[in-house]
Structure 1
Amino acid sequence: MGILSRRVKSSSPVNRKPNETMRLIVTTFLGVVLGFFIGVSFPALSLTKLNIPSSLLPTIQISYTDDTNSGLSSQIKDLSSAKNSNSNSNQDQHLNDTSKIWATSNPKGAERLPPGIVAATSDFYPRRLWGKPSEDLISQPKYLVTFTVGYDQKMNIDTAVKKFSDNFTILLFHYDGRTTEWDEFEWSKRAIHVSVHKQTKWWYAKRFLHPNIVAPYDYIFIWDEDLGVEHFDAEEYIKLVRKHGLEISQPGLEPNKGLTWQMTKRRGDREVHKETTEKPGWCTDPHLPPCAGFVEIMAPVFSRDAWRCVWHMIQNDLVHGWGLDFALRKCVEPAHEKIGVVDSQWIVHQTVPSLGNQGESADGKAPWQGVRERCKKEWTMFQSRFANAEKAYFESQGIGPSSITAH
């Protein structure tokens, strides 16, 4: 029994060997068949369905060269190329992603907003804190008049404001910081008050009269505080400006006081004039300032479109505005037809040195002397900046000085 038992045990592996061999053959065959079907179907799979992370795509190396597998290679290359391209253009990312908003028609910086919600302009119309917003405005003035004021000129401003009808929004810029005292005048309670110490009207204009803020107004008056308005009516003035097609204008000046230029001198025989004669040698071209295309900065009136251009021309650091009146012609075309003086609605320049008195004494000079010196420096600086900017532009366009004509 012991010998028989040992034989059975020793012969059993030999008996199972053919079965294992057959199993191995069958398994291998099935693996080959399965691999064949996978290999045939794999090129037709969509990469998007495979959901391969885009960060891995540039590192994938595919060396398929036959026609069947070239589609896979091209898809991977296209996706990799798109990733690199999108990384260079934020705008392209938004344009390719239809689930996000990127409206290029919106103002710069607001591209992510739906165009229907964009409120690109504003106004100076006061709003209530209660009720329906649609019922806030009883009236919407069509014109804007601004005065840069100190409280010492309150009576003069009171007289001036009363020359402007309810069609005008009244905006006061206070250089002396005194605002509440003006409420002794009934109109002051409806006016807009902006107070910053010792600043000029062009400083205020650059910061508070952005074209998108004053967009509702057909005309914008930017006036000094020392103007006599006995012979002026704002509504009649607007009618004449429209009639004669003036984009930039001013009332005529009473000739016996405060007159600097012949162009702004009132003519008693006409409604409007657009050109004049100055001292010999002052005007190389009769269509150029100060003989035409010219008004002064004390009492200018701008159309909405003209102001949009002028606002951009105002320099942020040159606050007195000297020299600006010689450059206003750049904002309308032709300037000698669209800039003019309204003679039949005229004013008096009272030449009150209130702004000069806001200066400070330095080096033994009176306050007004320092202010006057800066005015002259700013005029020179503005002229230089404008000339250099024009030169740089024309050079960038390949236009030489000989091809540039006065305009």
Structure 2
Amino acid sequence: MAKLGNTSRRACSGLFRKPNETMRLIITTIVGVVLGFFIGISFPTVSITKLHFPSSIISYIEDRNSGLATQALLNHALTSARNQNRNNSKDFNDTLKIYVPTNPRGAERLPPGIVVSESDFYLRRLWGNPDEDLKMKQKYLVTFTVGYDQKKNIDAAVKKFSENFTIVLFHYDGRTSEWDEFEWSKRAIHVSARKQTKWWYAKRFLHPDIVASYEYIFIWDEDLGVEHFNAEEYIKLVKKHGLEISQPGLEPNRGLTWQMTKRRGDREVHKETEERPGWCSDPHLPPCAAFVEIMATVFSRDAWRCVWHMIQNDLVHGWGLDFALRKCVEPAHEKIGVVDSQWIVHQVVPSLGNQGVAENGKAPWEGVRERCRKEWGMFQNRMADAEKAYYKEKGIRPPNTTAV
């Protein structure tokens, strides 16, 4: 009976402990859930890419949840998170990149505030504050293509231009330092390249963005007499008569000149003339109107922007250019003219011709003159071909006035 009693007590004791263990399990689970909840809200954002699961845990999950599906789910979640982070990073980087299509060509990746698209010939100091460099900014530019042998003529010409003018000398003979005997030369810009013409220099050193600070650009030869010329008065007349391309009148009794460019003594400016019969197909076309020569040409800033683009790199003498200048202003017969009351003398010094080379029994100047004529024909053909190609592309019948 004693054994039976002990056995019964152990059995009863076991029966009474089971409810206690069940209750303990339930309470432990509840406490775990609550604790997990509070821990979870303590970390509001957790990136799955920052969680590194031990392989033993992943193996356990695979065993418990048929492996492959769970692994695929985890891989998908990890990949999606990485791609999202990568896309967010790319979008952020793209937002930081600068690209401004309205900037000048080549400067699209710069912030507009740092872009300086134009320049000038103003001389700067090597010391002090940059904003204190310039006592004044010249409004006009005059260039002469020179050899040292013409120094007296150039000295006289430069003195006809006020402090409102920036002076640039293009040296075709390579002699630059000798000009320092003139006080004004120390303030001038000197550019040297041997045996080149003024249009070669103009194409390479007078880009419209370089000379944009100047209202008018004078591109002059070295053999011009300026006794009856004053640059400031000339500018006043150009503005008064609305001339975009102009030149001073030429003394009619010196050298060979077109009728259009000969000085008239009874007026300030003229814009048309009469030539020999048959020379002008239209009274508004060269050489009866819309025409000046290329020895002492003056361009407005806007007109020069067009003319610079028309100058050909390889055609350095500029012959034929004077007949085509009209294409850069509209109406040309009103905006191209000759200033009669400020006139000059063309001295016809063959200095550039002497820079040529004697070949095949020809004197240096003969080879130069032959090249000039050849370039005139080449320029005419290029202009005519370019216009025909344009009208053909547009499906337009070319007008009869396209020839230069």
Q: Same fold judged by TM-score > 0.5?
A: yes
Whole-angstrom distance in 1 between the partners of 2:62 and 2:353: 103
Pairing partner for 2:320 from 318, 323, 329: 323
- The reply on whether 1:341 has 2:338 as its aligned counterpart is yes
Corresponding residue of 2:65? 31
In 2, the alpha carbon distance for the partners of 1:282 and 1:47 equals 82
In 1, are the aligned partners of 2:237 and 2:339 still within 8 Å (CA)?
yes
- Among residues 152, 161, 173, which one is paired with 2:158 in the alignment? 161
Alignment of 1:12-91 (within 5 A): 30-31=64-65, 35=69, 49-51=81-83
Deviates more, 1:157-166 or 1:111-120: 111-120
Q: 5 Å matches for 1:249-260?
A: 249-260=246-257
What is the SS of the residue equivalent to 1:277?
A: coil
Give the conservation status (yes or no) of the 8 Å contact 2:62–2:68.
no
What is the Cα deviation at residue 48 of structure 1? 5.9
Match of 1:133 in 2: 130
Distance between the aligned counterparts of 1:282 and 1:385, measured in 2? Answer: 22
1:310 counterpart letter in structure 2: V
Q: 1:383 aligns with which of 380, 397, 400?
A: 380
Deviation at 1:38, TM superposition (A): 8.0
Whole-Å separation in 2 of the counterparts to 1:250 and 1:48: 74
TM-score (norm 1): 0.79
Counterpart mapping for 1:7-406 below 5 A: 30-31=64-65, 35=69, 49-51=81-83, 97-401=94-398
User: 1:130 corresponds to which letter in structure 2?
Assistant: W
Question: In 1, Cα distance between the equivalents of 2:111 and 2:130?
Answer: 22
The total of aligned residue pairs comes to 342
3-state secondary structure, aligned to 2:388: helix
Distance 1:364 1:404, change over 3 A: closer
**Alignment RMSD:** 2.7
Matched residues in 1 for 2:224 and 2:62: separation? Answer: 106
Aligned to 2:10: none
Is this contact kept in 2: 1:94–1:100, CA < 8 A? no
Identical columns (%):
76
Unaligned runs of at least 5 residues, structure 1: 1-25, 55-78, 80-92
Task: Measure how far apart 1:97 and its partner are.
Answer: 2.1
AA matched with 1:341:
V
Partner of 2:9: none
The structure having more radius of gyration, on CA atoms, is: 2
Q: Which amino acid aligns with 1:369?
A: E
The residue matched to 1:51 in structure 2 has which SS?
helix
Name the CA distance, whole Å, in 2 between partners of 1:390 and 1:141: 38
Matched-pair contact (CA < 8 Å) for 2:216–2:301: yes
TM-score of the two chains, using structure 2 as the length reference? 0.79
Deviations 1:197-252 (A, max 9, x none): 11000000001000111010000000000000010000000000000000000000
In structure 2, how many angstroms separate the alpha carbons of the residues matched to 1:279 and 1:53? 82
